[in-house]
């Protein structure tokens, strides 16, 4: 479930509010694991199916967008270098150094006839902390927290706005400074021959702003993100 909230305050820190844009996105991902002597390397690719955005004014009503002409799409490439911190009895703590790319495309069509299109390619760096609980020989539980920083010099977006007659009225490139937290929990059932089945839940918060220049403070605001995403996932290890 993806939700993008409106900006209620044009200063930092920003304040999220309604109306909000929302959609549900099925996604498919592949992850490769490369064990090393004292670490593990993870590489993951994920792609969502395009979804239709609807507006929610806080009461579940959409007075803003034309659903059949809106769209949202995202795809990502993630890398993590994973190392052990400690293991005590059935508890194991691990830390990660993460990096990756996130591409997002969003089309908004309003009842007034106006339209807005944004496209973003974003690179991030950040740490991660994971705790695993080896409950039984066949079951594991895991909690995790990732902090991802999207620096302005590593990100680029482009905004296009059109009026009700489809005439282009504004275009601008922008550089975003965003902060992304990812928290979650997962349960794994170990199967035969190193196979496993995992089910879990993650909550994502992506917030920040974008100027025409790569800056860490608000100057000429072009775009912003006040996004939340809740994900349920199933992972099969083969």
Please give the pLDDT value at position 55: 87
Average of per-residue pLDDT across 119-143: 94
Beta bridge partner(s), residue 42: 33, 80
Supply the CATH classification number for the domain 2-237: 2.40.128.100
Burial of 231 (C-beta count, 10 Å sphere; 0-12/13-18/19+): middle
Tell me the pLDDT band of 68, cut-offs 50, 70 and 90.
confident
- pLDDT value at 6 more than 90: no
Q: Two tokens at 177? A: 């400074």
* Number of Cα atoms under 13 Å in the Cβ half of residue 53: 23
Q: Which residues of 21-44 are buried (b: 16+ CB within 10 A; e: fewer)?
A: bbbeeeeeeeeeeeeeeeeeeeee
Lookup: tokens for 123: 């690179």
The mean of the pLDDT values for the chain is 91
- For residues 113-132, average pLDDT: 95
Cα 186 to Cα 54, 67, 125, 227: the distances in Å are 30, 34, 23, 22
Q: Does the model's pTM come out above 0.85?
A: yes
């Amino acid at each position: 479930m993806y939700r993008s909230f409106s900006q209620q305050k044009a200063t930092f820190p920003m304040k999220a509010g309604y109306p909000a844009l929302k959609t549900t996105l099925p996604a498919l991902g592949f992850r490769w694991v490369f064990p090393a002597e004292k670490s593990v390397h993870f590489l993951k690719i994920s792609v969502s199916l395009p979804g239709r955005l609807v507006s929610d004014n806080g009461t579940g009503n959409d007075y803003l967008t034309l659903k059949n002409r809106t769209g949202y799409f995202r795809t990502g490439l993630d890398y993590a270098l994973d190392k052990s911190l400690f293991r005590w009895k059935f508890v194991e703590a691990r830390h990660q150094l993460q990096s990756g790319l996130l591409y997002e495309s969003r089309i908004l069509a309003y009842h007034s006839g106006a339209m807005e299109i944004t496209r973003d390619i974003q690179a991030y760096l950040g740490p991660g902390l994971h705790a695993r609980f080896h409950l039984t020989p066949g079951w594991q539980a895991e909690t995790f927290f990732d902090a991802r920083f999207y620096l302005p010099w590593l990100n680029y977006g482009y905004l296009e706005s059109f009026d009700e007659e489809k005439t282009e009225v504004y275009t601008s490139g922008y550089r975003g400074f965003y902060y992304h937290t990812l928290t979650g929990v997962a349960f794994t059932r170990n199967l035969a021959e190193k196979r496993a089945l995992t089910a879990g839940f993650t909550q994502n918060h992506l917030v920040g702003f974008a100027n025409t220049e790569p800056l860490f403070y608000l100057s000429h605001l072009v775009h912003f993100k006040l996004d939340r995403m809740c994900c349920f996932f199933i992972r099969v290890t083969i």
